[in-house]
């Protein structure tokens, strides 16, 4: 679950909503230096994660017990960990794990949350009441606790981390898409579509869903950051992806033991989480301004 | 007006009841969806057969699920959450001995984030689009993006390991509270700063503020006497909501600093598969969060005269 730090205000310059040409959207996005910075960071991370095997001379899992806990040197830019593994290599490979967890978890939340949100907003009544009560119960678990509770039931491991983090963010999508659906359900063109005899399923898919696209894209960028953060938190507690997989949070959790003597093994994995999450947040913020300046997320 | 508020309060409290039951249902089913015998899970692997049988009878595991749930609710209502598998002490005792530590940490972090968030929010709202404003924006983004446990570790390395200014962990003496509360507050400071800034900006552009300026009042009086009071109403809500969220954030902070609160109790219980403790802590966290949110809602309805109780 992500808390949007952009509180809305009428004092901020409100730009025209209406329809935006893709080039106009791109132009607005390009003007935000922070958003472009976020995008560049993410592209570099993706490239690193994809090309890790090509650009790095070390294997992330190969231990070198003659070179444990070395401070950063030209050969090992980020130093080596307690088993002599190259930390830079593990951080870059960790990007793979974290980005995959983030993408899959957000995919799960969206795949469950978006349809539920549309159904809930479109039909209202009993369906809405049931869905909203379930969402209320899920939201009663503050932030990190829901994912943690789910992992305590499912057990640790990569798959269960993805499932827990994904399910924990379902309410965000339900609320968001339900809000969009409610706001357009009464509009004339939906009424016309219904009058022409289109089936509900077609209306929801063809006429309601596209309206939710922009908010969902923005929210997903923020959720990607949040999912990485939550997964790393689970890993840090030893309740996430299990060692020796180079997941950033798990690496940090292992590093705690050596903190007093070797600060650098805790510095870099955490820095990687921080940079990735910040990049997704900046990207999301820029996307929000570009796609729909007046949009409020949560 | 007051009658309207009482009606609103009653409706809001009634609306929270189904959620409360939902939370108990989740906690109830937690041990029942797990593979294996719930009585064995709740008694622990080392328990004797007698102990397991006793728990089975107590939970009514031979009876229908509805009856089991009723028994569970009755037990919870009587403050009986079972016994910890690892220490054999009652769950309520385990939790209540650690609760003050978590409450202290969350309260300190709330005060800290309230002060820093509001002050920085006011400062940047009077300097919109200046370099200070942009700088604080970036810092706020960092505040919500930084992993709380990593921030804690880095502060620990600098201030405890290198500078020896404060203890690295544990809860011995007032200085041990400094790093954990700063760490826990970081996220909330950013959220409160953003809310203060935007609601100050909104208020500063309203007519009555323009009137105050037109009367020739000093800018400081306009900002602090006229604008701030109204701008703070939504900020108070956000602070309240953050207090609830801090209980959740405390799980990671307490583990980072070996702070002996209920967050740490929960994490070690999950590792040890101590299900009675997990159930108890999860229930406590969720109910606390629910009650805090409810109070914040009521407070908001009470302090904002513009709210219509429709």
> Within chain B, what is the greatest distance between any pair of CA atoms?
83
pLDDT at A86: 79
Determine contact: B286 vs chain A, CB below 8 A: yes
Element (H, E) at A118: helix A87-123
pLDDT of residue B308: 59
Taking residues B47-71, report their average pLDDT: 80
Contacts of A168 in chain B (CB under 8 A): none
pLDDT of amino acid B53: 82
Which parts of chain B fold into alpha helices (H)? Answer: 2-33, 38-43, 49-59, 65-77, 91-125, 131-145, 148-155, 178-204, 207-214, 219-221, 228-257, 262-271, 275-303
Q: Which carries the bigger pLDDT value, residue A142 or residue B184?
A: B184
Tokens of B186: 């970081």
State pTM to two decimals.
0.86
The whole-number average pLDDT for the span B240-258 is 84
pLDDT of residue A294: 53
pLDDT of residue B89: 85
Mean pLDDT, residues B190-205: 88
A51-65, A179-193, A217-231, B88-102: the lowest-pLDDT one: A51-65
Model pLDDT, residue B310: 46
Q: Does B192 touch chain A (CB under 8 A)?
A: no
Mutation site, B162, B197, B270, B280, interface A, largest A CB count within 10 A: B270
Q: Is the pLDDT of residue A186 over 70?
A: yes
Q: Which residue of A has its CA nearest to B202?
A: A11
pLDDT value at B3 more than 80 = no
Average pLDDT over residues A221-245: 89
Query: Confidence band (pLDDT; 50, 70, 90) for A297?
Result: very low
Say which range, A30-44, A76-90, A186-200, has the weakest mean pLDDT: A76-90
Sign of CA dihedral B239, B241, B245, B250: positive
Asked if B33 has any chain A CB less than 8 Å from its own CB, the reply is yes
pLDDT for residue A13:
41
| Contact across the interface for A12 and B201, Cβ inside 8 Å | yes
Tracing tokens 């007006």 back to the chain, one arrives at B1
In our burial notation (b when 16+ CB lie closer than 10 A, e otherwise), range A186-224 reads: eeeebeebeeeeeeeeebbeebbbebbebbbebbbbbbb
Res A234: pLDDT: 93
**A37-41, A104-108, A246-250, B230-234, range with greatest mean pLDDT:** A104-108
**Does pLDDT of A73 surpass 70?**
yes
Q: Which two tokens stand for residue B14?
A: 């009634």
Name the residue of chain A whose CA is nearest to B154's CA: A267
Does the pLDDT value for residue A292 go beyond 60?
yes
B75 touches chain A (CB under 8 A): no
Give the range among A5-14, A119-128, B58-67 with minimum mean pLDDT.
Answer: A5-14
Three-state secondary-structure class, residue A81: coil
Contact B193, A7 (CB under 8 A): no
Mean pLDDT, residues B49-69: 80
- What does the pLDDT read at residue A19? 56
CA distance A52 to chain B (A): 24
In percent, the amount of chain A with pLDDT more than 70 equals: 89
pLDDT of residue A1: 39
Say whether B23 and A140 touch across the interface (CB within 8 A).
yes
pLDDT tier, A259 (very low <50, low <70, confident <90, very high otherwise): confident
The two three-digit tokens of residue B209, written as one number: 């503020």
| Rounded mean pLDDT, A224-234 | 92
Please state, rounded to an integer, the average pLDDT across all residues of chain A: 82
- C-alpha pair distances (Å), A165 with each of A160, A213, A249, A252, B21: 8, 22, 14, 19, 23
Cβ-Cβ contacts under 8 Å, B278 against chain A: 149, 152
Most B CBs within 10 Å: which of A1, A2, A3, A5, as the mutation test of the B interface?
A5
The torsion of the CA quartet A25, A31, A34, A40, rounded to 10 degrees, works out to 70
By the CB < 8 Å criterion, does B257 face chain A? no
pLDDT value, residue B266: 92
pLDDT score recorded for residue B110: 92
In which element (H, E) is residue A65 found? none
- Among A64-78, B19-33, B101-115, whose mean pLDDT is lowest? A64-78
Q: How far apart are CA A250 and CA B239, in angstroms?
A: 31
Q: Which range among A3-12, A233-242, B46-55 has the greatest average pLDDT?
A: A233-242
Best probe of the B interface among A37, A145, A231, by most B CBs < 10 A, is A145
pLDDT reported for residue A232: 92
Report the pLDDT value the prediction gives residue B111, as an integer from 0 to 100: 93
Mutate to test the interface with B, among A1, A4, A137, A160 (most CBs of B within 10 A): A137
Residue with tokens 């992992």, as numbered in its chain? A151
Phi, psi dihedral angles at A176 (to 5 degrees) = -60, -55
Give the model's pLDDT for residue B105.
92
* Distance from the B94 Cα atom to the nearest Cα atom in chain A, whole angstroms: 19
Mean pLDDT in residue range A116-126: 89
pLDDT of res. A161: 93
| pLDDT at position A5 | 52
Quote the pLDDT of residue A110: 94
pLDDT band at A276 (very low <50, low <70, confident <90, very high): very high
pLDDT of B305 over the 70 cut? no
Q: Does A18 touch chain B (CB under 8 A)?
A: no
pLDDT tens digits, A207-219: 888 888 888 888 8
pLDDT tens digits for A8-28? 444 444 333 445 677 777 777
* A142/B148 touch (CB, cutoff 8 Å), yes or no: no
C-alpha distances out from residue B214 to B105, B123, B202, B208, B219, Å: 45, 22, 18, 10, 11
Of all residues in chain B, the one with the smallest CA distance to A260 is B161
A298 pLDDT more than 70: no
Report the pLDDT averaged over residues B223-249.
82
Q: Measured between CA atoms, how close is B219 to chain A, in angstroms? A: 18
Where does the pLDDT of residue B116 fall: very low under 50, low under 70, confident under 90, or very high at 90 and above?
very high
């Amino acid at each position: 679950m992500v808390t949007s730090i952009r509180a809305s205000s009428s004092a901020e310059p409100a730009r025209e909503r209406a329809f935006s040409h893709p080039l106009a959207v791109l132009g607005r996005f390009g003007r935000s230096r922070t958003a472009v910075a976020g995008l560049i960071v993410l592209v570099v991370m993706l490239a690193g994660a994809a090309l890790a095997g090509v650009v790095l001379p070390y294997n992330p899992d190969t231990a070198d017990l003659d070179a444990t806990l070395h401070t950063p040197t030209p050969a090992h830019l980020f130093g080596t960990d307690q088993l002599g593994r190259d930390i830079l290599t593990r951080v870059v490979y960790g990007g793979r794990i974290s980005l995959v967890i983030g993408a899959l978890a957000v995919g799960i939340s969206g795949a469950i949350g978006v349809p539920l949100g549309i159904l809930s907003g479109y039909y209202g009544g009993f369906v809405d009441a049931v869905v909203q009560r379930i969402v209320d119960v899920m939201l009663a678990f503050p932030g990190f606790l829901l994912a943690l509770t789910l992992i305590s039931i499912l057990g640790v491991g990569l798959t269960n981390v993805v499932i827990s983090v994904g399910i924990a963010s379902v309410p965000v999508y339900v609320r968001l898409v339900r809000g969009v659906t409610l706001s357009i359900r009464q509009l004339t063109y939906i009424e016309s579509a219904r009058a022409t005899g289109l089936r509900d399923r077609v209306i929801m898919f063809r006429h309601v869903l596209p309206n939710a696209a922009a908010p969902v894209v923005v929210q997903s960028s923020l959720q990607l950051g949040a999912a990485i953060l939550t997964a790393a938190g689970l890993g840090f507690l030893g309740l996430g992806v299990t060692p020796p997989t180079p997941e950033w949070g798990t690496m940090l959790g292992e590093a705690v033991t050596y903190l007093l003597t070797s600060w650098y093994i805790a510095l870099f994995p955490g820095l990687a989480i921080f940079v990735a999450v910040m990049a997704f947040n900046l990207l999301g913020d820029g996307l929000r301004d570009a796609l729909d300046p007046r949009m409020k997320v949560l | 007006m007051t009658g309207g508020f009482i009606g609103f309060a009653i409706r809001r409290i009634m609306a929270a009841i189904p959620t409360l039951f939902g939370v108990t249902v989740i906690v109830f089913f937690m041990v029942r969806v797990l593979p294996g015998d719930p009585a064995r899970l709740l008694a622990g692997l080392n328990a004797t057969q007698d102990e397991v049988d006793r728990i089975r009878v107590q939970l009514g595991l031979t009876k229908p699920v509805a009856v089991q749930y009723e028994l569970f609710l009755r037990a919870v209502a009587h403050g009986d959450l079972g016994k910890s598998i690892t220490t054999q002490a009652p769950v309520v005792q385990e939790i209540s001995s650690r609760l003050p530590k978590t409450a202290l940490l969350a309260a300190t972090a709330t005060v800290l984030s309230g002060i820093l968030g509001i002050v920085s929010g006011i400062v940047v709202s009077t300097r919109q689009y200046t370099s200070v404003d942009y700088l604080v924006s970036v810092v706020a983004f960092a505040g919500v993006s930084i992993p709380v446990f990593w921030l804690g570790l880095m502060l620990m390395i600098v201030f405890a390991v290198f500078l020896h200014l404060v203890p690295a962990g544990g809860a011995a003496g007032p200085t041990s509270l400094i790093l954990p509360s700063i760490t826990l507050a970081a996220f909330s400071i950013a959220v409160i700063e953003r809310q203060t800034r935007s609601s100050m900006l909104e208020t500063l552009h309203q007519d009555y503020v323009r009137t105050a300026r037109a009367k020739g009042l000093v800018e400081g009086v306009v900002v602090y006497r006229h604008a701030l009071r109204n701008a703070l109403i939504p900020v108070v809500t956000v602070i309240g909501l953050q207090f609830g969220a801090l209980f959740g954030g405390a799980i990671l902070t307490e583990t980072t600093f070996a702070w002996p609160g209920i967050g740490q109790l929960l994490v070690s219980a999950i590792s040890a598969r101590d299900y009675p403790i997990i159930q108890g802590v999860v229930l406590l966290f969720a109910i606390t969060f629910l009650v805090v949110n409810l109070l914040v809602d009521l407070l908001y309805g009470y302090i904002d005269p513009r709210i219509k109780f429709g």
